[in-house]
Amino acid sequence: MTQPGTNPAATTPAQPAEAGGLARVGSAPVPAAPALPKGHQRPAAPDSTLDRSLRAMAARATGGLSPQAAADAWADYLSHLSRAPGRQMDLARLAQQGALHLMRQALGLGGDSQAPRRDDHRFDHPGWDAPPFHLWQQGFLAMQDWWDEATRELRGMRPKSAQRVAFSVRQTLDMLSPSNSPVANPEILARTLLTGGLNLALGTRRLIDDMLREASGQPVAPSAEFEVGRTLACTPGQVVFRNDLFELIQYAPQTDRVQAEPILIVPAWIMKYYILDLSQTNSLIRHLVAQGFTVFAMSWCNPVPDQRDLSLDDYRQRGVMAALDAVTRIVPGVRVHACGYCLGGTILAIAAATMARDHDDRLASVTLLAAQVDFAEAGELSLFVDESQIAFLEDMMWDQGVLDQDQMTGAFRALRGHDLIWSRAVRRYLLAEDEPEFDIGVWNADATRMPARMHGEYLRSLFLENRLSAGRFAVGGAVIALRDIRAPFFVLGTESDHIAPWRSVYKAALFTGAELTFVLTSGGHNGGILSPPGQARRRYRIGCRTRDDRYSDPESWARAHPPREGSWWPEWTTWLARHSPAEPVAPPAMGATEAGLPPLGPAPGTYVFQT
């Protein structure tokens, strides 16, 4: 075991070649080709540049979605449905019942009206209760329910095929909703009569402006109210380390005494880091500093095509480990509380398991916020992951060097198309409403690119092959195991997370043996993390598993831990303090000039402004 705050001689061992192939982080060794009889020459592999170029062009046209994957899903679904006459009769009977119900409503013969789903606000306007709009609404809702039943998984078909078919049908229905039509939506008609058509003229001009901006690649104009460095990402601090991959920010103390052990925050590189340092009243980092913690946060670069060869292990070795080395030089002789959010939590778990394998005990605790270590139930994003889909994306990234911001955020928007695409379009282009600006909305539009090699490795080794929890993820030529980590865990999931579903996040309890505190909080992937004390309608559940406790499945855990009102932030700071030395100390200096880490400039640094 190393002493706390010291770095083993070889923090990152060299990656040796394995027998029969080359070792790759997160991938199986590539076996050597079988030998040919003497005198025979192996034919050269065909040049696939043309094929990859054509597939890259197709990928850009489809937003990175593989038509082959969609076609396979529909073929699987239709072939199984064709051999299920009982299911066909059930669907025919359901369609007949729905048609008769609509007919009775149209003739005024009664019948209960169907209510939209709780998260569907397209039909909130009171005009939808009047004819003929009510009938159109009811017809759409009936069709939506019929397709939900029709696309349920059939016995023998691949579950992912059913999910993909349901997804594609949902996208089509969202597009065909009567709420999108200027002649079928009573709210649009009322607004048009009220303004004399000015809303349509203004909306058309906005549409043209947005199309021209998209075609020219111009970013959205920055907000005057929400400005990075002034009202966003504005907690005082200094950049104390920088390499080509990230900047390390040390935040200025706000108390006379601080906890002896610092916190290192590893954010996701899929978006800018300041989701954790949003506005002054909505900043987790500011809250930690105000509670007497010394906080460091990584700010990842926004990769460009020249950085296409950055690997997943680069993000561990030259990212997380380089940041940890810098923190322990600035605050020597103590352990570090590491916190990872989303993808940052996944790479932190990989780094922590590698450190445990290599007997590096510099971590005092590990916090994972909405971060997955097992991807068997990875949620709706898994719809975009199979061999065909990944190969399609890899060809696009091979051509571009990176996965572009718009291509990435498009997939997230598609998961909630009725709200994030069509309802937004109706408000902006048909109702001509100015969208209210929020701090989280401005951050959400500030996306980043991802290097081709890293993203391909991440999708294959984690999402597709689930190597980390299966004990097949190699770092430096040797497999790592999450169970080697001895530091206590604080793991948080959010109730309505469609990116990292809480039941998937909870699986950290399956693959780790250390003390683990799990928190389930209200909200989604981002909104659930932003939970400052005093905010209304917030709740959470919390429970601790010791090393001697047996595993409890997610539903049993939720039943055994009733919800509590309020924010989970105080629970975390109390937990951190409990796992820290009891005696507070004087705040450390900003940076460590004598150790070669002088302050390089004020927070939020320079990488956060890269576009």
pLDDT the model gives residue 18: 37
pLDDT the model gives residue 575: 98
Task: Compute how many other C-beta atoms are within 10 angstroms of the C-beta atom of residue 556.
Answer: 10
- Please give the model's pTM, rounded to 2 decimal places: 0.87
Place of tokens 């076996």: 31
pLDDT the model gives residue 113: 86
Instruction: Say whether pLDDT at 406 is over 70.
Output: yes
Instruction: Say whether pLDDT at 263 is over 50.
Output: yes
Interval 111-118 mean pLDDT: 86
Ranking 183-192, 428-437, 581-590 by mean pLDDT, the lowest is: 428-437
491 and 573 Cβ atoms separated by less than 8 Å:
no
pLDDT the model gives residue 110: 74
Give the DSSP H or E segment for 575: helix 569-578
Please give the Cα distance from 586 to 258 (Å, whole number).
6
Which residue among 234, 301, 339, 342 is the active-site one? 342
Please give the Cα distance from 584 to 292 (Å, whole number).
9
**Residue 372, SS3?**
coil
**All residues at 6 or more sequence positions from 221 whose CB lies less than 8 Å from its CB, including other chains:** none
pLDDT the model gives residue 420: 75
Q: What are the beta bridge partners of residue 451?
A: 402
pLDDT the model gives residue 13: 39
Please give the Cα distance from 445 to 447 (Å, whole number).
6
Residue 323: pLDDT band (50, 70, 90) is very high
Instruction: Write the burial class of residue 574 (CB in 10 Å: 0-12 exposed, 13-18 middle, 19+ buried).
Output: exposed
pLDDT the model gives residue 435: 81
515 and 545 Cβ atoms separated by less than 8 Å:
yes
The tokens describing 264, both together, are 């290192």
**Residue 24, SS3?**
strand
The tokens describing 305, both together, are 């095509």
DSSP notation for 120-187 = --TT-SGGGGSTTHHHHHHHHHHHHHHHHHHTSPPTTS-HHHHHHHHHHHHHHHHHH-GGG-TTT-HH
Strands 450-451 and 402-403: antiparallel
Apex CA 401: angle with CA 468 and CA 25, to 5°? 25
Strands 516-521 and 539-545: antiparallel
Higher pLDDT, 41 or 292: 292
Instruction: Say whether pLDDT at 397 is over 50.
Output: yes
228 and 274 Cβ atoms separated by less than 8 Å:
yes
Q: In Å, what is the CA distance from 15 to each residue of 23, 29, 474, 476?
A: 7, 12, 10, 4
Please give the Cα distance from 187 to 531 (Å, whole number).
34
Task: Give, to the nearest 10 degrees, the angle between helix 159-176 and helix 67-82.
Answer: 100
Place of tokens 């979605």: 65
Instruction: Say whether pLDDT at 481 is over 80.
Output: yes
Report the percent of the chain where pLDDT is more than 70: 91
Please give the Cα distance from 411 to 424 (Å, whole number).
16
Please give the Cα distance from 224 to 258 (Å, whole number).
35
Domains and CATH numbers, the chain: 65-112+123-185 (no CATH), 237-374+474-609 (3.40.50.1820)
**Residue 74, SS3?**
helix
pLDDT the model gives residue 157: 94
Ranking 153-157, 389-393, 407-411 by mean pLDDT, the lowest is: 407-411
Active site residue 544: no
pLDDT the model gives residue 412: 67
**All residues at 6 or more sequence positions from 11 whose CB lies less than 8 Å from its CB, including other chains:** 317, 321, 325, 358, 360
pLDDT the model gives residue 389: 85
Please give the Cα distance from 193 to 173 (Å, whole number).
28
Q: Residue 276 corresponds to which amino acid?
A: L
Ranking 129-138, 327-336, 390-399, 446-455 by mean pLDDT, the lowest is: 390-399
Sheet strands (E) in 431-515: 450-451, 474-475, 478-479, 489-494
Instruction: Say whether pLDDT at 14 is over 70.
Output: no
pLDDT tens, residue by residue, 483-518: 999 999 999 999 999 889 999 999 999 999 999 999
pLDDT tens, residue by residue, 30-75: 444 444 444 444 454 455 788 888 888 887 777 777 888 889 999 9
**All residues at 6 or more sequence positions from 532 whose CB lies less than 8 Å from its CB, including other chains:** 281, 282, 283, 287, 567, 569
Q: What are the beta bridge partners of residue 479?
A: 474
pLDDT the model gives residue 353: 98
